[in-house]
Structure 1
Amino acid sequence: MVMNAKYAFLFQGVGTSYRDYLHLLDQDQKEELQQYSMITKKELDLDLWGYLFDAKSTGYDPLFCDWISLYTIDQIVYHTYLQMGLCPDIFLGYSMGLITAMVCGEALSYAQGLHMLLSIYEYPRHAFRRDETMAAIIGMTCKDVDIIIGEYNLADDVEIAIENNEHCIVVSGLKKGVYKVMNHAEEKGALKVKEVNSPYAFHSTHAAQGIEHFANFVEKVPVGHCVVPIMSCFDQEIIWQSDDLKHQLVRNMTGRMDWTSSITKIGASGIQNFVEVSLNDSLIKFSRTIDRNCQFMTYKKILQSGCRLENMNVAVAL
């Protein structure tokens, strides 16, 4: 174990189902989940517990239910880390993981976060849309993907949305264009292409259609200051004040994310321990290659280590 270590907590976005990970929750965590489920039922009339454990229909799209599942359970994981004595020095939220980070940082309440996610899911419906999607391209750089977009005149339909690492790029836009980029990427040697389970082209200019409805919603929400600073995935600035957080929430829908630079800058600042706040390792999978001098920790490995942390600045040796 390393004394006086500093930690960056990473919060995942959406796109994963947690049903296959529920066995990782202990009894205390399940009781906390039941408490959150009561709030979810009251605020959204969504039976989260029934959806997760009994596959009950909720009246909402299953994709949205998965959003709420991740948002809720990742907060439980965060509380578990705190109880273990593992505490953050900085937060980094991947896409809608920003909302989870803000709730964990006490800038938003759990109930406010629920309505924030619902507003994000619904705001694109306020504008005319063509079919949109997102896709991951593995084995190519931003430059490689930009060349494909330019060569086939797809700039009006597709944009680079996220640089996960140097060789893992997410594109976003109209389906017809995204599918063409995927096909051309495979032809030109991409290791893997995969459509992302998203109904909208987030992190692109296409997501700006109807966004004024979300922006108006955010403006009315009483956002507080965050007790843990958050690094912006867009310009790598450190934010914690209410007005900056509100701006970040809106920017988070349409802005191009640079996850690579964010991880790199945190590591260069002297914080070299990254902890994923989730039941899986969705972020660690592509983050660990960005800076090999840093240590990347997952929930499962922390549990397997058999260590119980008693001080704020003690790292688990993995």
Structure 2
Amino acid sequence: MRLVNMLSNKKRAFLFQGVGADYRNFLDKFDDDQLHTLEQYCSTVNEQIGIDLHGYLFTSHELKHTEYDQMFYDWIAIYTCDYIVYQQYVNSGIKPAMMVGYSMGLITAMACGKSISFAAGLQMLQIIYEYPKSSADSCGMGVIVGKTYSEVYDMIANCKAENDVFIASENNETCLVISGIKDSVIQVLNTAELQGAIKASTIHTPYAFHSPYAAKGIEMFVNLVEDTPIYDGEVPIISVFTQTIIQSASDLKNELIKNMASPMNWNASILKLGEWGIDSFVEVSLDDSLTKISRIINLDYEFVTYKKFIRLKSAMSAL
């Protein structure tokens, strides 16, 4: 019996997370075969963008003689490990009817769907890391939990920060990400905390993704996208911006550019999938961050995390 038969036999949407996790604490979820595969991909990473990802993940917590910081290493670790997780799902017979990429998870989804090569995804992440450094503005992002979209919008207005802070993502009805000028972002977060938010904290990033500030210097990324071979996807992707299906190479190119400075609506995207009869979700990551923000959107939806997948796989092996 294939593992897929142990799960609900439904059409599934695969969820690809963005950045922000440190995967060094999750690598024990990989078995020997996956660790060997990871080692091979780490060699590709070194060849393509010149970083020792394997050394960072397994031998040292210190980065020496490198132009990149820990944040970038974590970006590449997430992309590489999630690519392997996807392959493990598919090899076990669990395949997506649709894909959804949260922020830079779009790049992972496109690589897994064969729209771009694994190497091309690495190059896109590298140029994204480098291009905003020309900006003179001190940017940042934050997350607010326990307040609605309208409440956060009013906080921004009350702080007179409408030109400095933008709602970057509506994760669910009471979890929102803000993005913009760092000092103003902190001011809005402090206001949210004073007004009783469950959580109001900064996100560890010097960028203001999904806001107009992320458009500064974007030409380098646009040029890379134009020069990169991009193909029609094997699996359709729902846009987190327009909640429409995209699969053609031209639409995927446009989505990559839009992905930098446009606000996301994750909440509406998950609900739209439910309207289309896709209410079973598989998280393609070593943690369960997307499941945590998505499960509350509709309590009737089904979510499979990698942790649950490993548990089911072990149960099947014991039969």
2:212 alignment partner in structure 1: 205
Instruction: Output one character per residue of 1:40-89: Cα deviation in whole Å (capped at 9) or x when no partner.
Output: 11111111111100125261211000000000000110011011110100
- How far apart, CA to CA, are the structure 1 residues paired with 2:159 and 2:85? 44
How does the TM-score come out when normalised to structure 1?
0.94
**Structural mapping, 1:39-118, within 5 Å:** 39-55=44-60, 57=63, 59=66, 60-118=68-126
Task: In structure 1, list runs of 5 or more residues that go unmatched.
Answer: 310-318
Q: Equivalents in 2 of 1:277, 1:45: separation in Å?
A: 26
Aligned to 2:37: 32
Cα deviation for residue 25 of structure 1 reads: 0.6
What is the CA-CA distance between 1:307 and the residue it aligns to?
6.4
Q: Find out whether 1:191 has 2:198 as its counterpart.
A: yes
- Compute the displacement of 1:4 (Å): 4.0
CA deviation digits over 1:101-159, x for unaligned, max 9?
Answer: 00000001111110000011111123x32111100000001100110111121111100
Amino acid at match of 1:183: N
Give the equivalent residue in structure 1 for 2:23.
18
Q: CA deviation at 1:308?
A: 7.8
CA displacement, residues 240-274 of structure 1 (integer Å, 9 cap, x when unaligned) = 11111011001000010000000000011111110
Match of 2:249 among 236, 242, 247: 242
1:301 aligns with 2:281: no
Assess if the C-alpha contact under 8 Å between 1:84 and 1:308 holds in 2.
no
Partner of 1:288: 295
CA distance in 2, matches of 1:245, 1:307: 37
SS at match of 1:288: helix
Question: What is the SS of the residue equivalent to 2:26?
Answer: helix
**2-structure distance, mates of 1:275, 1:143:** 30
SS at match of 1:226: coil
State the partner residue of 1:251.
258
**Corresponding residue for 1:313?**
none
Distance in structure 1 (CA, Å) of the matches to 2:85 and 2:313: 16
CA distance in 2, matches of 1:272, 1:70: 25
State the Cα RMSD in Å: 1.3
1:267 corresponds to: 274
Aligned-residue sequence identity (percent) comes to 48
In structure 2, how many angstroms separate the alpha carbons of the residues matched to 1:292 and 1:235? Answer: 23
Other structure's SS at 1:289 match: helix
* 1:175-204 deviation per Cα after TM superposition (whole angstroms, max 9, x unaligned): 110010001111111111111111100000
From 12, 26, 34, the counterpart of 1:7: 12
CA distance in 1, matches of 2:234, 2:315: 24
When the two structures are aligned, how many residues end up with a matched partner?
308
Q: How far, CA to CA, are the matches of 1:132 and 1:39 in structure 2?
A: 32
Unpaired runs of 5+ in structure 2? 1-5
TM-score (norm 2): 0.94
